[in-house]
Structure 1
Amino acid sequence: MKIAVLGTGAGARCHTARLTELGHHVIVGTRNPEATLARTEPDMMGTPPYRDFHAAHPGIELHTFSEAADAAELVISGIDGAHAVQALSALPRQALAGKTLVDYAVPYVYQQPDQVERPWPTPWGVMPRLDPVDTDSLAEQIQRALPETKVVKAFVTQEQETVTHPEEFAGGDHTMLVAGDDADAKAAAGELLRAYGWRDIVDLGPLAAARGMEMYAHLHTAIGLALGTRFGVKIVR
C-alpha cells in the first residue's frame, strides 16, 4: 500500500521505518523538503536532524505535504497538534478527499514557565496544557476542516516507538484504542495496527471519544515519569 507519513519528527520516523520494513511504499511529507534536509541541529526534543535518518533510509521518498498526501492511499498525520489543522487545511482538497487519515497528535500548547500559574515541572520543562480540551478535540477539529476525509484517532495513547513495536511489552499483549466516525476507516487503522503486532484493539466509537484519548496524555506522562520508563497498558474485561 502507498502510505503517506506527514511529519519528520521522532514519532513519524518510527512509522516510516516500520511501514517500510513491512513492505509498504512510504512517502514522507514535510513543509519544505530542502529546508528539512538542510537542518543540522536536533529539534526541541533532542531528536537528531532528519538528514541523518534519511541517509540511513535512502529509499524513502521525501516530498511536500501536498505531494505525499496526493500520492497515498492512506495518510498518517504526525504533524504536531499546534499546527495540524492549519497545515492539513492548506492542502489541495483532492489530496485528502475520500482517504483515511490517522491522527495521533496531542494538542499541546507550549508556554514559558513564567506564563504558567501552577506549573507542572518535568525533566524536559513545564508540562504543556491541552487546547482543545473537554468539549472538543484536535481530531474533531481536523474532521470539521476536512469533511471529505475519514479521520481516525489512534496511536495517541502510546509513544510511537511502542505503537510500531508493541512486542516490547508482554509480547504485544496490551491495548490500543481507536475512535472515528467511519467504520471502514477504523478497519483500515486496525489492519495497520495488527500488522504492527497489536492483538487487543478497542474501538471507542465515534470521533468524539478522541477527547478522552487526547486528555489521557497527561496521565500517561505521569505514569511514565513515576516508572522512569515506557510501558504498556492492558484493559482487562
Structure 2
Amino acid sequence: MKIAILGTGAGARQHAARLSALGHQIIVGTRDPEATLARTEPDMMGTEPFALFLAAHPELTLATFAEAAQAGELVVNGIDGANAVAALTALPADALAGKTLIDYAVPYVYQQPGDARYPWPTPWGEMPRLDPVDTDSLAEQIQRALPDTHLVKTFVTQEQETVVDPAEFGGGDHTMFLAGDHEDAKTVARELLASYGWNDIIDLGPLAAARGLEMYAHFHTAVGLALGGRFGVKIVR
C-alpha cells in the first residue's frame, strides 16, 4: 500500500521506517523538502537532521505535504499539533477526500519561560499546555475542517517508538485506543495496528472521545517522568 506520512519528526520517522519494513511504499511529506534536507542541526527535541535519516532509508520518498497526501492511499498525520489544522487545510481540496487519515498529534502549545501561569517544570523545560482541551479536540477540529476525510484518532497514548513495536513491553500485551466517526476508517486503523503487533485495541466510540486521548498526554508524561522512561498501559477488565 502507498502510505503518506505527513511530518519528519521523530515519531513520523518511526512509522516511516516500520511501515517500509512491512513492505509498504512510503512517501514522507514536509513543507519544503529542500529546506528539510538542508538542515544540519538537531531539532528542538534533539532529533538528528532528516537528511541523515533519509540516507539510512533510501527506499523512502520525500515530497511536499500536498504531493504526499495526494499519492497516499492511507495518510498518517505526524504534523505538530500547533500547525496541523493550517497545514492540512492548505492541501488541495481533493488530496484527502474519501481517504482514511490517522491522526496522532497532540495539541501542545509550547510556552516561553515565564509564560505559564502555573508552570510544570520538566527536564526539558516547562510542560506545554493543551489547546484545545476539554470541550474540543485537535482531531475534531481537523475533521470539521476536512468533512470528506475519514479521520481516526489513535497512536496518541504511547510514544511512537512503542506504537510501532508494542512487543517492547510485556510481549506486546498492552492496550491501544482509537476513536472516530467512520467505521471503515477504524477498520483500516485496526489492521495497521495489528500489523505493528497490537492485539488489544479498544474502540472508544465517536471522535469526541479524542478529547480524552489528547488530554491523557499529560498523565502519560507524568508517569514517564516518575518511572524514568517509556512504558506500556494495559486495561484490565
Task: Please give the range of the TM-score, normalised by the shorter of the 2 chains.
Answer: over 0.9
The percentage of aligned residue pairs carrying the same residue is: 76
The amino acid of 2:79's aligned partner reads I
**RMSD value over aligned CA atoms?**
0.4
After superposition, give the CA deviation of every residue in 1:141-183 in whole Å (9 maximum; x if it has no partner): 0000000000100000000000000000011000000000000
After superposition, give the CA deviation of every residue in 1:43-82 in whole Å (9 maximum; x if it has no partner): 0000000000000001100000000010111000000000
For the residue of structure 2 that corresponds to 1:27, the secondary structure is strand
1:216 aligns to what? 216
Q: How does 1:25-174 map to 2 (within 5 A)?
A: 25-174=25-174
Question: Distance between the aligned counterparts of 2:222 and 2:59, measured in 1?
Answer: 38
Q: 1:112 Cα deviation (Å)?
A: 1.2
Q: 1:117 Cα deviation (Å)?
A: 1.4
For the residue of structure 2 that corresponds to 1:188, the secondary structure is helix
1:20 aligns to what? 20
After superposition, give the CA deviation of every residue in 1:73-120 in whole Å (9 maximum; x if it has no partner): 100000000000000000001110000000001000011121111100
> How many matched pairs?
237
5+ residue gaps, structure 2, are none
The amino acid of 2:35's aligned partner reads A
Question: Distance between the aligned counterparts of 2:216 and 2:91, measured in 1?
Answer: 29
1:182 aligns to what? 182
Question: Distance between the aligned counterparts of 2:155 and 2:96, measured in 1?
Answer: 20
Question: Distance between the aligned counterparts of 1:213 and 1:72, measured in 2?
Answer: 25
The amino acid of 1:164's aligned partner reads V
Question: Distance between the aligned counterparts of 1:115 and 1:123, measured in 2?
Answer: 17
1:193 aligns with 2:213: no
| TM-score, L = length of structure 2 | 1.00
The amino acid of 2:158's aligned partner reads Q
Question: Distance between the aligned counterparts of 2:117 and 2:26, measured in 1?
Answer: 43
| TM-score, L = length of structure 1 | 1.00
Question: Distance between the aligned counterparts of 1:141 and 1:225, measured in 2?
Answer: 30
Stretches (4+) displaced over 3 A: none
For the residue of structure 2 that corresponds to 1:86, the secondary structure is helix
1:236 aligns with 2:236: yes
Question: Distance between the aligned counterparts of 1:53 and 1:113, measured in 2?
Answer: 31
After superposition, give the CA deviation of every residue in 1:11-56 in whole Å (9 maximum; x if it has no partner): 0000000000000011100000010000000000000000000000
After superposition, give the CA deviation of every residue in 1:176-234 in whole Å (9 maximum; x if it has no partner): 00000000100100000000000000000000000000000000000000000100000
